[in-house]
Amino acid sequence: MPRFQIATLPGDGIGPEVIAATLDVLHAVAARLADVQFAFQEFSVGAGEYLRSGDPLPPATVEAFKQCDAILLGAMGLPDVRWPNGVEMTPQIDIREQLDLYNGVRPIRLFHETHTPLKGYAAGQIDFVIVRENCEGLFSERRTPRPTDRDFETDTLRITRRGAERICRAAFDLARKRRRHVTLVDKANVLPSMAFFRSVFDAVATEYPDVETSRVYIDAMALYLVQKPERYDVIVTENMFGDILSDLAAGLVGGMGLAPSADIGDEYAVFQPSHGSAPDIAGRGIANPVATILSAALMLDWLDHPETRRGARLIEDTVARVLADPANRTADLGGTLGTRAVTERIVAAIEAAPPES
């Protein structure tokens, strides 16, 4: 029987709360799968680890969790724990870069009409995926040491042919499993780096004649996503644009508590909610665990075994069914359920699912 070793990195703030909830769901799923087992191994990474050991991402820990089959991460960083230059610790971004997890997949799906601030959208009518380039773009030189005595600071938006090609291919491959439409979001009318990105996108598009394409400037996209989100299937974009659009898109379907993500490379992959450590609600038992639970479904898909894929569908269908009942809402969605209560309802629904699910 295949046995998958899963590294868990709970991290900071609400990270441990949403990971604990997700492990309950994964145990319930495992009990429903015939032919696979999961073993979980926890690692300490993040602002809390920095306070303990002086390093938020110890290299020996990275080497250890790289040996696992997949990595499930909660959230990292705390506003009061910063590097001497004032920026927050972001080991989750360091992990993406160190493991070359270039493909940031952020599915956006409306589960219930009351979750969206938009009028006239029913469950399922907003359903697209943002594919964010994770390893270059405007984040490319964020770790470059700089003199401290200058009257200016710059950040470089770097697009390489290799980086653009592989993220565009990832977007087209994903579109082939969905509604076969890819939208490139850029600023090719102003920035040469973005004109280059577009030229690479256009070249890759010729390899996928069965996939329709469109090209939209980032500023227009902020408007269109709010006006006509149903238009989009797969959206591919640069690192910083993807970062910003992901939050906007999450806002269309109920906020960060419902937005899962996967950071995928050719060798490794990390699955985590799109949200951060949410220190404003940490420790209160009110965090919405659904984004992390749905990230675990992305992980089961990526593990690419018939039984883990069945587990992924079981999680997604169960979450959709549980959230279809407006009584099953956490505080971020205007409801009264805490983290534990909503998790128990999801676990119970998994246990009660018909055997063929």
> Which of 53, 50, 46 is closest to 10 using CA atoms?
46
Judged by DSSP in three states, 98 sits in helix
Rounded to 5°, angle at Cα 206 from 303 and 199: 95
Task: Pick between residue 33 and residue 290 the one whose CB is nearest to ligand ATP.
Answer: 290
Cβ 15 to ligand ATP shortest distance, Å: 10
Task: Pick between residue 77 and residue 200 the one whose CB is nearest to ligand ATP.
Answer: 77
Task: Pick between residue 264 and residue 291 the one whose CB is nearest to ligand ATP.
Answer: 291
Separation of alpha carbons 107 and 249, rounded Å: 9
Task: Pick between residue 109 and residue 275 the one whose CB is nearest to ligand ATP.
Answer: 275
Task: Pick between residue 170 and residue 250 the one whose CB is nearest to ligand ATP.
Answer: 250
Sole residue written with tokens 């697209």: 128
Cβ 258 to ligand ATP shortest distance, Å: 8
CB-nearest residue to ligand ATP? 276
* CB under 8 A, 24+ apart: contacts of 82-86: 85/148
Cβ 274 to ligand ATP shortest distance, Å: 7
Cβ 70 to ligand ATP shortest distance, Å: 21
**CA dist 126 → 103, 161, 243, 260 (Å):** 22, 32, 19, 15
Cβ 207 to ligand ATP shortest distance, Å: 34
Strands (DSSP E) contained in the chain are: 3-11, 37-42, 70-75, 103-109, 127-133, 181-186, 212-217, 234-237, 260-264, 269-273
Interface ranges with ligand ATP (CB under 6 A): 14, 18, 77, 256-257, 275-278, 280-281, 287-288, 291, 332
Q: Which stretches within 228-338 are classed as H helix?
A: 239-252, 290-303, 306-323
Residue 298 amino acid letter: L
Task: Pick between residue 78 and residue 350 the one whose CB is nearest to ligand ATP.
Answer: 78
Cβ 202 to ligand ATP shortest distance, Å: 32
